[in-house]
Structure 1
Amino acid sequence: MSAAVPTDDPLVRERAHLTSSRAALRAMREEVEALDIKDVTANWVNSIVLERQIEDRVKALADLAHTPLFFGRLDYLPPTQHGQRFYIGRRHVHDAHGDPMVVDWRAPVSQPYYQASKKDPRDVGLRRRFGYTGGELTAYEDERLSDPTEEERTSRLLQTEIERPRVGPMRDIVATIQPEQDEIVRAGLSGTVCVQGGPGTGKTAVGLHRVAFLLYAHRERLARTGTLVIGPNRSFLQYIEQVLPALGELEVKQATVDDLVAHVEVRGADEAATAVVKGDARMAEVLRRAVWSHVTAPAEPLMVVRGSRRWRVPAHELEEIVRELRERDIRYGAAREALPQRIAHAVLVRMEQAGEAPDDRVQNAVARTAAVKAVVKECWPAVDPAKLVLRLLGDADFLAEHAEGVLDADEQKLLLWAKPARSVKSAKWSAADAVLVDEAADLIERTHSLGHVVLDEAQDLSPMQYRAVGRRCTTGSATVLGDLAQGTTPWATGSWEAALTHLGKPEARVEELTAGFRVPSEVIAYASRLLPHMAPGLAPVESVRENPGDFEVRTVAPETADAAVVAACADALRHEGSIGLIAADARIAPLAAALEAAGLACLSPGEETTAESRLTLVPASLAKGLEYDHVVLDEPAAVVDGEPDERTGLRRLYVALTRAVSGLTVVHAAPLPEQLAVSA
């Protein structure tokens, strides 16, 4: 006969509250599902919109079985908040009377859960953290913030949650947000924030949680203006795509910079030196000159015939109209649309002086006459952005004319195609070319601006790419995330001040995260040996992990290298969590064959949402931003040698070394890079 569980057991009571909260969430969802909209919509369009909103609301109220409904509790001291108790979770849940059973983590009343301390208890008497296993509440831990006799200590449950093995895509950190991270997450919508953070400091998670917070605090405004998360590649976006839905946010769009500037089909690639010039901010001036070079002064007077009367506008007056429009600092296309109305207005002035009384309809009719259209076509022709860039890259004289004093002769030679393309469709556009087309397109027609943009792995963008992103948030704000030490492109930014200026947000504040929550201390110490050689002056990440992690360097014979990597992967698979085999891009094919021969199934980056395997084979060029419980790193020297120069190679290696959450095994037959051979 089993002993009865005492009813005063706190864990029993908390489990009962969890059960009640799940039932309340289910009732909220069923209430939405039961809504009858047949008689509340005026037409079928409104009905479709409302049905979509209801579907989204039902999805947002989903109860994810393995995701804790709440992860903390705050007991406020009276009279603050009337001495109430609040359970803190991923979404708001209320009972049948409308009383909160779980409070959204983004609500003001929840903030002390992240910010309160012994020194500043924020009127909180007790903070309780909960531990879960597979969605079941299994433990709790109390901090009595108002008790001066109780020592402040590191939360064991917090450490356990941070170090918990993970499989699949990135998860949220809502239960483990630290005070310095929370301050960034809750920063106001009006300002742009740049977060410099080394590996494992949680900068990506901070950016995503900031989006969730802003949508909570400014939902109506952002529903109108839109939000966007920009990542370095499609694999990265697939890896992070479940974070916001888990927090109840389903409408945030995700894209790469290449997606934003997809005006032309990218089928080619540039040499590094060429890409650097194309990405230089000076190209904006070259394009500006090229666009506006199409405007010329009218050579002949204008004659408009209406009925039996003829109205003449002399060339010097037309020239003045054109000059005034050029000086208004508006887009080329907007000025071109205004030009026929300005010319027509000059005609109407003459009509009025002759005693007629023309109205707006007459002005519009004059603006549409063949004579006015001919003047506009002659002095302000339409410009196609892709054709303009095509001409710049294919016509040496045209480029020289508009690059004079901006680019030197050698830089101009780098820009010119060896074989000029005949048309936009036949051209082998590169990714950098597409950014130039986007810049030209914005000179002609203003790019739509969003309310907030999150830009991750920002250190790898060129100045022209920053400008492309900045155009998407000219009237909004941005969260810029990156690590200068992880810049692996030839055009990687050297300072956030320069990057933010190109972005159009020079007033943005820069925050630095230096506490490492993801990477074990031994791993980050090993990787930090590279910092003095690739990013002098940048402070290394200080791991706050109590568990030093598993770290091993295996030296093997060249003839057994592939077999040794496979063996290291097999060893890692004996443990819980995800495994990432990271290797130089040139090594991916032979390693894939070796894994297949050994019967070890593997995934490609971005496929971690499937249940086929816990092992992912990751090219070093795609490793940035990803994380795995255990990483097997193949041939560090090959990773370095796969880049155009040593500094970029060391940065790529630094990225690869710091993808591990629990353990790292380095396997090498070739000598290690000398920077790793001895401690810095």
Structure 2
Amino acid sequence: MSLKHPDYDQEIQRLKDTKEYIHKIVQLSEGKQESYKGNIKEAFVNLDHLDSSLSYINILVNAKFFDMTSSELEHLKRVEDKPYFARIDFQSQESNEPTSYYIGKVSLYKKDTQESIIVDWRSPVASLYYDGRLGEVEYKTEDRTYTGNLTLKRQLIVEDGELEEIRDIDITTRDELLQSSLSGSSDNRLTEIVSTIQAEQNEVIRSDLSKPVIVQGVAGSGKTTIALHRLSMFIYSYAGKVKPGEMMILAPNHLFIDYISEALPELGVEQIKQTTFIEYVQKCLGKKISIIHPDRKLISLLENEEDSMVKWASSFKGSLQFKHVINRYVTDLIRQFEVKESFKVEGFTLYKAKNINRLFFKEYNYLPINKRIKKIKGVLQTTFKKKRKR
């Protein structure tokens, strides 16, 4: 529990200070907005009395600053109750002590000292949270490569402005966090996965943005989530060069667009155009088109043209009865993987059978069977390396 963590009081104070600073910035931004509104109104009033060109310039400048302030204000308000989700401590070769970085969905610096308060998850140093293991690591920026020692990786569970839990991350807790995120409601999965991105997913998100990438996976494997995070990374990396309004998401249908709509503002990509391929082609051609090769099987089922056996099979596959049959089969299949003996090397017990079964049947039950086995193999190898000398 968080109350027992030795750094609990320190993290509570850090969260309090961060929330207070965000609140001050929000108030300051709201004040600036009113000032810009006043300047624009005054410029319109004086439009007929003064040099019209100067008044127009005044209006445009204040409107630009108003938009910039509105964007900053909107993002800060969105993270005010959950400013960050992780912390890493990194000591570079040039430094005498580690620097703590708190990772969130936006960047925030102190206006006077430029001291980092929150590091954007898309920044180069944040990649250490997703990819780096404790010990010697490195991360790259556009200018150079930084080498040093990663001394801490910590998950901070913050809800409604309160610190609920602190978890120092190793292999097991990393997967527990992902499981917790995936087991939540589908409405939250797209927005919360940013705190539990796995190394393989992070590699896709941060891969060369100038080259096309094909991501292949089964339904529910996270392809959409990773695509949206890659878009967010693209906007972050090319800020000032490419505007979100110049980008487009081509979706298979409007149901898909509705599904991703909740995640887009959270990831800062709400200004990207969203449409289906058919609508995009229709707009380019300037006229309506029809599908040349419709799904005759689906239409025949709807029009009762299919033979009775096929209709029965299609109906049965969509029934709860078929679901129960599949569930029983999967349950029987999984039971075959129960471990009876502990993992031993030279007579020494390194991992008890009950703990292996706990990983397989409980901790990793969100994964396919072959991936569970791969994860457990990694845990056993790590355990062996740690205990080998002893």
Cross-structure match for 1:229: 249
- How far apart are 1:110 and its partner, in Å? 0.7
Cross-structure match for 1:128: 154
Cross-structure match for 1:11: 8
Classify the secondary structure of the residue corresponding to 2:264. helix
Q: Taking structure 1 as reference, are residues 251 and 224 closer, same or farther at Cα in structure 2, changes over 3 Å only?
A: closer
* 2:101 aligned with 1:103: no
Q: Do the aligned residues in 2 keep the contact of 1:184 with 1:210 (CA within 8 Å)?
A: yes
Q: Do the aligned residues in 2 keep the contact of 1:169 with 1:240 (CA within 8 Å)?
A: no
Q: Taking structure 1 as reference, are residues 18 and 233 closer, same or farther at Cα in structure 2, changes over 3 Å only?
A: same
Structure 2 unaligned blocks of 5 or more? 44-53, 139-148, 303-309, 334-390
Instruction: Give per-residue Cα distances to partners, 1:566-625, cap 9 Å, x unaligned.
Output: xxxxxxxxxxxxxxxxxxx97xxxxxxxxxxxxxxxxxxxxxxxxxxxxxxxxxxxxxxx
How far apart, CA to CA, are the structure 1 residues paired with 2:16 and 2:257? 34
Number of residue pairs the alignment of both structures matches: 287
* 2:163 aligned with 1:137: yes
Cross-structure match for 1:529: none
Classify the secondary structure of the residue corresponding to 1:153. helix
Instruction: Give per-residue Cα distances to partners, 1:433-454, cap 9 Å, x unaligned.
Output: 7xxxxxxxxxxxxxxxxxxxxx
Q: Do the aligned residues in 2 keep the contact of 1:131 with 1:157 (CA within 8 Å)?
A: no
Cross-structure match for 1:153: 172
Classify the secondary structure of the residue corresponding to 1:190. coil
Q: Which has the higher helix share?
A: 2
Structure number with the bigger relative contact order (C-alpha 8 A, sep ≥ 6) is 1
Classify the secondary structure of the residue corresponding to 1:102. strand
* 2:247 aligned with 1:247: no
Cross-structure match for 2:133: 117
Trace 1:341-360 onto structure 2 (pairs within 5 A): none
- How far apart are 1:164 and its partner, in Å? 3.2
Once the two structures are aligned, what percentage of the paired residues are identical?
A: 23
Q: TM-score, normalised by structure 1?
A: 0.37
Amino acid at match of 1:667: L
Trace 1:374-393 onto structure 2 (pairs within 5 A): none
Trace 1:480-495 onto structure 2 (pairs within 5 A): none
Trace 1:566-581 onto structure 2 (pairs within 5 A): none
1:30 aligned to 27, 31, 41, which one?
A: 27
Cross-structure match for 1:191: 211
How far apart, CA to CA, are the structure 1 residues paired with 2:15 and 2:262? 23
- How far apart are 1:108 and its partner, in Å? 0.7
* Greater shift in the superposed pair: 82-91 or 219-228: 219-228
Q: Do the aligned residues in 2 keep the contact of 1:244 with 1:250 (CA within 8 Å)?
A: yes
Which structure has the larger Rg? Answer: 1
Q: Taking structure 1 as reference, are residues 76 and 432 closer, same or farther at Cα in structure 2, changes over 3 Å only?
A: same
Amino acid at match of 2:314: D
How far apart, CA to CA, are the structure 2 residues paired with 1:64 and 1:76? 24
* 2:72 aligned with 1:62: no
Classify the secondary structure of the residue corresponding to 2:101. strand
Q: Do the aligned residues in 1 keep the contact of 2:89 with 2:98 (CA within 8 Å)?
A: yes
How far apart, CA to CA, are the structure 1 residues paired with 2:194 and 2:269? 14
Q: TM-score, normalised by structure 2?
A: 0.62
How far apart, CA to CA, are the structure 1 residues paired with 2:311 and 2:61? 59
How far apart, CA to CA, are the structure 2 residues paired with 1:20 and 1:640? 61
Amino acid at match of 2:105: R
How far apart, CA to CA, are the structure 2 residues paired with 1:161 and 1:255? 28
Q: Do the aligned residues in 2 keep the contact of 1:25 with 1:63 (CA within 8 Å)?
A: no
Q: Taking structure 1 as reference, are residues 247 and 167 closer, same or farther at Cα in structure 2, changes over 3 Å only?
A: closer
1:432 aligned to 280, 283, 291, which one?
A: 291
Q: Do the aligned residues in 2 keep the contact of 1:32 with 1:54 (CA within 8 Å)?
A: yes
1:667 aligned to 320, 330, 337, which one?
A: 320
Q: Taking structure 1 as reference, are residues 160 and 638 closer, same or farther at Cα in structure 2, changes over 3 Å only?
A: farther
Cross-structure match for 1:84: 99
Classify the secondary structure of the residue corresponding to 1:70. coil
Amino acid at match of 1:54: T
Cross-structure match for 2:88: 74
Q: Taking structure 1 as reference, are residues 154 and 236 closer, same or farther at Cα in structure 2, changes over 3 Å only?
A: same
- How far apart are 1:172 and its partner, in Å? 3.9
